[in-house]
Amino acid sequence: MKTRASIEQAKGMLMVLHGISADRAFEVMVEQSQTRNIRVAAIAAEVVETLTKQ
């Protein structure tokens, strides 16, 4: 459940930051996940951590 919450939070942040849809925000994270060969949840955690530090 915690993983899902961080993914949803990261999706929302990407939507606002880039003006994209929820589907596209998730696609961006999936693309990064595949490129870097790490889980989507890890990508989401990085997004949240990076954007909340600003």
Query: At residue 1, does pLDDT exceed 90?
Result: no
Q: Where are the alpha helices (DSSP H) in the chain?
A: 2-18, 22-36, 40-52
Q: pLDDT band for position 54 (50/70/90)? A: low
Give the pLDDT band (50/70/90) at residue 2.
confident
pLDDT more than 70, % of the chain: 96
Name 47's Cβ contacts closer than 8 Å, sequence gap at least 6: 10, 13, 14, 29
Arithmetic mean of pLDDT, 8-28 = 97
